[in-house]
Amino acid sequence: MESKQRLLEPQLVQTGRADQFSRKVFCDGMRDGVPIALGYFAVSFSLGIAARKAGFTPFQGFLVSLLNNASAGEYAAFALIMANATPALQAAVAATADIPVLGTSVTEYGVALGIQDFNGTPGGNVSGTSDLAPLEDQAKMLQTWFPDAKNVGLLYCSAEPNSKYQVDTVEKYLTEMGYTCKQFAFVDSNDMPAVAQEACDFCLLQASLSDMLLYFLLCHTPAQT
């Protein structure tokens, strides 16, 4: 029993000064860190892709990684920046009918939830705020800024129901004002540049609405047309 107790007792081994550099320990640490480094090499690629999709420049993405201690925090930040409230609201409503669902920055709850004859109150377990600015007033503002414009191109995201809703509503107001409107739809940020170029062929000047997914592209119709 005594011999067994001795084996279990911690033994102190004198290895020299605590701050003494050990080449072997350093090399062992470098070797043991290779698998971790390779793992984070893959993580860095995925973070770079996420940063690019969120609209960051390479330098901005580098600063995010430099100033953030945890890659999970970076992913969370990119997800918040890219967040689209409508799909999140739809998923939450589909998941529960009992737990309260509070939305924010949802343009139109009736469109997002498919509510017919929406009266401004979602009802049930859903409530929240809307970021929808008066679209008729925005159309009037556009007319004030560009009184001589004839064509209006409407660039929107076809994957976002509320983006389509805004385009259709604004197009109605602008058509009543005498503008010639044309819609240009993109699915995501990958095909947006090509669609934007197509819209620019129809229009010359660009001005942004309050919604980040909806843009006005304007031009003066040539005199010969």
Mean pLDDT by 10 residues, the chain (225 residues): 52 54 82 84 83 78 81 75 72 87 79 81 82 84 82 82 86 90 83 82 51 36 32
CA Rg value for the chain: 29
90 contact partners, CB below 8 Å, separation of at least 6: 112, 113
Q: What is the pLDDT of residue 176?
A: 92
- Coil, strand or helix: which one is 163? helix
pTM of the full structure: 0.51
CA atoms of 120 and 42, how far apart (whole Å): 46
The two beta strands, 101-103 and 126-128, are: parallel
3-state secondary structure of 126: strand
- What pLDDT is stored for residue 206 in this prediction? 41
CA end-to-end span of the chain, whole Å?
105
